[in-house]
Amino acid sequence: MAGAGNAIRGSRVGAGPMGEAERGDAAPRQTVTYFCSHDHRSVVTFAIEASVPESWDCPKCGLPASLDSENPPPAPKIEPYKTHLAYVKERRSETEAASILDEAVALLRSRRKAGEIIF
C-alpha cells in the first residue's frame, strides 16, 4: 500500500522540477532521469560537460537504475537490505552445524566406548 502511494508521489515530483533545472544560474547543467525496477524516478543533475553514466544507484531503494524507463536493470538476487539477514542466517546455520557436529562426535565416542563399530 505504501509502495503504491510513493510511486504516485514520485512521478509527480519527477514531472515538476524540469523547468526549474533549466534556469541554472552559473554552470549549465543537464538533468537526467533514471528508472529502477521499483518504478522510482531519480532526477540527477549533472554539469553539461559531464558524461552521464548509464546507470545510477536509486537513492530511494539502492537498486541500480538506468536511463531506459522501459528496461530498468533487474534487481540483484540479493537486495542490499536482505544481505545482512542472509549473513546472520548463514552464521546461525554454521553455528548449528558446528553444534550438530559436536553432538555427533560425542555420540560416536560414547558408542565407541560401548563397543559399537560405526562407519
Q: Which parts are annotated binding residues? A: 36, 40, 58, 61
- Please report where in the chains the cell 547543467 appears, as a residue: 29
Ordered DSSP codes for 32-84 = EEEEETT--EEEEEEETTSPPPSEEE-TTT--EEES-TTSPPPPPSS-HHHHH
* Binding residues for Zn ion restricted to 30-69, rule: CB under 5 A: 36, 38, 40, 58, 60-61
Strand partners, 116: none
Residues making up the annotated binding site for Zn(2+) are 36, 40, 58, 61
Minimum distance, C-beta of residue 66 to Zn ion, in the bound complex (Å): 11
* Segment near Zn ion (CB under 5 A); pick from 12-20, 29-37, 66-74, 97-105: 29-37
The nearer residue to Zn ion, 40 or 56, going by C-beta atoms, is 40
Q: What is the rounded CA–CA span in Å between residue 56 and residue 64?
A: 6
In the complex, which residues of this chain contact Zn ion (CB under 5 A)?
36, 38, 40, 58, 60-61
